[in-house]
Amino acid sequence: RLSLKSFVAKTPGGHLRGSGELRWEPLLGATIESELSGFDPGYFFPDFPGALSGKLDASGERDAQGHWKGGARLAGLRGSLRKRLVQGQARVQFAADSANGELSLRIGNSHVEAGGRYGEQLDLHAQFSPLDLADLWPGASGRLQGRMAVRGARIAPAYEADLRGEGLRWGQFAARQLSARGRLPASGRNGDLQLSAKDLSLSGETFDSAALTMTGSVAAFHATGDLASELGRLDFEATAAGQGQ
């Protein structure tokens, strides 16, 4: 067992201070407890200058089958990042092929709530009230407003969305307007999920508009859509049915 009674990472105007432990018997594992006080992540990641304070704890252990389990918690996050005020908290727990967690973040003009469970059953959700992409990523722009969720069996979950976007730009993706509304259940016939975009750009390809409507369910759906550009318009239709349908 190796115990680290104290460590410190200093940045101009702040620091990260904590303690930790590494053990290899009876099982390989590690634990860390730390506090941030005016810590500047830009010292290590130049695109993300700031001054952050809060408490960060994490632990993990590998079982006899070689699977890792553990968790992490970020509490009382506050300060600034890229000249934007920050406030939030987060936690995550994981074991083998399952995990659960929660995130609450306010940064600049953005407010994001997300969380849920991942495993054989999914219950994942996110709420943007709104999400200004420029608050999170340098060079990005535009705003997302609304919610989205994925629930049900991992092999065939249900999808829900009520999401709107305007003036979006991130890397090689851009859209003047973006919309995702409706629900597509895992089974049944009453699903109706509608996706659309205007002035869409993907990896250098530009389109005046794009639309897709899916009805039915993930197991058996009917899809119609269109794609329009200066070269013309493409309409398409597809049907997929599960076994026994």
Q: What is the DSSP letter of 244?
A: T
Encode 88-109: b = buried (16+ Cβ within 10 Å), e = exposed. Answer: bbbbbebeeeeebbeebbbbbe
Q: What is the mean pLDDT of each run of 10 residues along the chain (245 residues)?
A: 90 94 92 97 95 97 93 98 97 95 98 97 98 96 98 95 98 96 94 97 94 95 95 93 53
Q: Is the pTM of this model over 0.85?
A: yes
The C-alpha atoms of residue 187 and residue 216 are separated, in whole angstroms, by 8
Where is 134: in which H helix or E strand? helix 133-136
Q: What is the pLDDT of residue 245?
A: 40
Q: With the C-alpha atoms ordered 219, 126, 54, 110, is the resulting torsion angle positive or negative? A: positive
CB 53 within 8 A of CB 78: yes
Helix, strand, coil shares, percent, the chain, to 5: 5, 75, 25
Q: How far apart are CA 172 and CA 169, in angstroms?
A: 8
Going 82 to 83 to 84 to 90, the CA torsion angle's sign is: positive
pLDDT of residue 47: 95
pLDDT for 240 = 85
Q: Where is 136: in which H helix or E strand?
A: helix 133-136
CA nearest to 126, candidates 108, 109, 151: 151
The continuous run of DSSP H or E covering 57 comes out as: strand 50-62
**What pLDDT is stored for residue 242 in this prediction?**
60
Determine how β-strand 205-216 pairs with β-strand 232-240.
Answer: unpaired
